[in-house]
Structure 1
Amino acid sequence: MNYQQLLTKIEKNEIAPVYLFYGEEKFLFQEVLEALKNKIVTSGCSDFNYDVLDGSEVPVARIVEAANTLPVLAERRLVVVKEAEMFRSRSAEKSGSKDEEKMLLDYLSRPLPSTCLVFTVEGKVDARKRLYRAVQEKGEVVNFPLLKGKALSAWVKKRVEQRGKRIEFPALQYLVAAVGENLFLLENEIEKICTFLGDKDIITLSDITDLISKTEEGNIFRLVDAIGERKTEKAVLLMREMLNWGEPPLKILFMIARQFRLMLQVKGLLEKGFSEKQIARELQLHPYVAQKCLQQSRNFSRANLEEALRRMLELDIAVKTGQGDPVYLMEIALLSLNFPPGSHARNV
């Protein structure tokens, strides 16, 4: 079961007595937990019918006690156990954990129907453990992996539609490529864009580029875009703007080096006969980013890209060792990347 299927079940009031949520996508954790809370915990009774416990600190006896508590003036109560370490590998090494495991297994074999008990683990769990199998038997185990590719695009599209708007595909691709895969940041940008556009129903690429360029992520995206398109003067101006706004020089340097590294990798895969889709899959890039890197890589020879990476390494050392003003050093480095079209770096 994925998170979307789970949300549908919760909406239909098909709620299991016990859940195990694990994975890396914190935003979806919070979204599902909020949906459960809204469905189970009635207003005015949260003090009695909603418990949040830290599984890394509280004893299992306290968890079982909370789970066995009857709801007050309601049909159910919600108990959330965060950082449920007992579901990770090697947790049995903890002193006394065998007895605690048995206590929890006893509860899970006959969970209280009026309690919804939720265990959450950020990261991996051990599916071989008896606790895992017990939850699986009596309730639901749901993985929350980081959303990527089509799943991420579908998530963005749905969040836009929930606000009564539609987003054109090029706009969606640019938004994800510029902001990245962090759902918290994407949610903020979607909210900002939809609010700014007011009654306008369709979000276009120009809408996204106008608004995203005003964000930190958008500026970095435009900077590496300008470098990849050999627009050196524009890149220098963008870099100055970002530095004036307090962006750390080393962060900007990292993004520039990453862009040249990606272009070099793309060029290598192209030479091996990889298609655009295969390159995106091989390098785990969003399709829009892969497309841009492919286009940009054609503006540089392999020697250009290798020389650019060498100069970025030299710049990194110079900035970290205080060999000059970081702004000056970075400007000189960017200007030095303006290789003549068709040239090889060794001739520059």
Structure 2
Amino acid sequence: MARISTKVATKPKPQERPEGAPRVILITGLEAERKQAEALLYLKQADPEFADFDAETLDSSHASADQVLGAVGTVPFGNGKKVVLLRDTQQLDTEEQKRLAAGLDRIPPRGLLVLHTGSPTVEDGKVKRGTSVSTELANAVKKLGEVRDFALPKIEDLRGHLIQETRRLGKTLDSDALALLSQLPADDIRHIGTELEKAALHAGQSPRITVLDVEATLSRGPDDVIFKLCDAVGMRKTKEALQHVNSLFRGSGRPDSVAPRTLVLLARQIRLVMQFRYLGEKKMAGRNAQPVSSQVAALLPADGAASIISNPRTSWMADKYVNQARNFTLAELEERLEKLLNADLMLKGVTPGGDNPQAVLQRLVIELC
């Protein structure tokens, strides 16, 4: 008589990490470009000949947990995997995220769910609720798959990266050039590397990359033009400032959106110039300046002049604002705040004259200079 085995097969525990390749991957963090590239790379695990069927992209605004799990649970047509990419997963309703977390262990071996997230919003050092995936979903992915966190580099790490890349190019990087490159948005390291390479080419045979090389080759977006406009106003260069205004409106199909953004930054510029004038009078900014006292810092906005001086990433800008502050008296700066308020009221339709946003900014720039 055959011997009957009394050994009972153990049933896998719920949420137990499956053997082999991960079946769910969470792509998170602030480095947007690398996250996007990583997400698209996973789609290639589907059979190329059947990519139209086996590689599927869903948007969280139009998908439920059941739809996502149903899609990744289907048998692939080809020899690769059935890959489902869910964009902006953090926008899923909290209950849907919980249902998705509970169903991750049902993903079959030939299925791969890629949970892509947008950049979380950080306020007061904390991630704002609703801008990252729920704790339940994140924990479920950790148990069953992988979390790929593309965190932004710290300022010190970014500076070190730039210095290392400059050495690789056979050059050195001046401190002002390093400071300017370090100000670029760190959510795309490759973009910063490209800007460095362009500056190195501009430097030619010179062993040094200067701030002039960076300025000459830096890619400019709309905000870059606005910042140049603000500096021209601070230096009271009317002709140059008007040219920047024309450039802004020439490159935009929505003048009604350009004007408010420009006005906000112009107002910030005048307020900063006023603050640096005050600090200059206190001998806390400019040549041979003393450290900003805690009493004086308490009188200034949290994101104002004192913050610029104390932040290693922006302290180099202090000299620029100090020089601009010398171009105005306190009475002139107070008058310019009134001009900014009048322009704001025009653009908002509270007072007449705001029908042509470009004309409003042109008049304002003349008055500010």
TM-score by length of 1: 0.64
Partner SS, residue 16 of structure 1: coil
By how many angstroms is 1:41 displaced? 3.7
| Residue in structure 2 matched with residue 120 of structure 1 by the alignment | 116
| Residue in structure 1 matched with residue 48 of structure 2 by the alignment | 43
* Counterpart selection for 1:272 from 273, 293, 296: 293
Distance in 1 separating the partners of 2:212 and 2:323: 25
Query: What is the RMSD of the two structures over their aligned residues, measured on CA atoms?
Result: 4.8
| Percent of residue pairs identical | 23
Shift of the 289–317 alpha-carbon distance from structure 1 to 2, 3 Å rule, reads: farther
* Counterpart selection for 1:224 from 227, 230, 234: 230
Distance in 2 separating the partners of 1:296 and 1:35: 45
| Residue in structure 2 matched with residue 261 of structure 1 by the alignment | 271
Question: Which one-letter code corresponds to 1:62 in the other structure?
Answer: Q
Aligned counterparts, 1:27-38, within 5 A:
27-38=33-44
CA contact (8 A) 1:41 1:50 kept: yes
CA offset digits 1:25-58 (Å, max 9, x no partner): 54333122123334x2453342343222234433
| Residue in structure 1 matched with residue 341 of structure 2 by the alignment | 313
| Residue in structure 2 matched with residue 323 of structure 1 by the alignment | 353
CA offset digits 1:59-90 (Å, max 9, x no partner): 433322333344555454422122436865xx
Partner SS, residue 125 of structure 1: coil
Distance in 2 separating the partners of 1:195 and 1:78: 41
Partner SS, residue 337 of structure 2: helix
Aligned counterparts, 1:274-313, within 5 A:
282=307, 289-300=314-325, 304-313=332-341
Distance in 2 separating the partners of 1:281 and 1:33: 41
By how many angstroms is 1:125 displaced? 3.2
Question: Which one-letter code corresponds to 1:272 in the other structure?
Answer: S
Partner SS, residue 48 of structure 2: coil
| Residue in structure 2 matched with residue 84 of structure 1 by the alignment | 89
| Residue in structure 2 matched with residue 57 of structure 1 by the alignment | 62
CA offset digits 1:78-103 (Å, max 9, x no partner): 22122436865xx22xxxx59x82xx
Aligned counterparts, 1:100-139, within 5 A:
101=99, 104-105=100-101, 107-109=103-105, 111-122=107-118, 123=120, 124-125=131-132, 127-129=134-136, 131-139=137-145
Question: Which one-letter code corresponds to 1:317 in the other structure?
Answer: L
Distance in 1 separating the partners of 2:101 and 2:358: 60
Partner SS, residue 62 of structure 2: coil
Partner SS, residue 86 of structure 2: strand
List alignment gaps of at least 5 residues for structure 1. Answer: 1-13, 339-348
Q: Which moved more, 1:280-289 or 1:306-315?
A: 280-289
Shift of the 207–283 alpha-carbon distance from structure 1 to 2, 3 Å rule, reads: closer
| Residue in structure 2 matched with residue 10 of structure 1 by the alignment | none
Question: Which one-letter code corresponds to 1:254 in the other structure?
Answer: V
Distance in 1 separating the partners of 2:270 and 2:247: 21
List alignment gaps of at least 5 residues for structure 2. Answer: 1-19, 121-130, 285-291, 298-302
| Residue in structure 2 matched with residue 345 of structure 1 by the alignment | none
* Counterpart selection for 2:365 from 334, 337, 347: 334
By how many angstroms is 1:120 displaced? 2.6
TM-score by length of 2: 0.61
CA offset digits 1:184-236 (Å, max 9, x no partner): 79849948974995996986533432344865444323222222334344323
CA offset digits 1:299-324 (Å, max 9, x no partner): 32665544433321122223444427
CA contact (8 A) 1:232 1:334 kept: yes
CA contact (8 A) 1:55 1:82 kept: yes
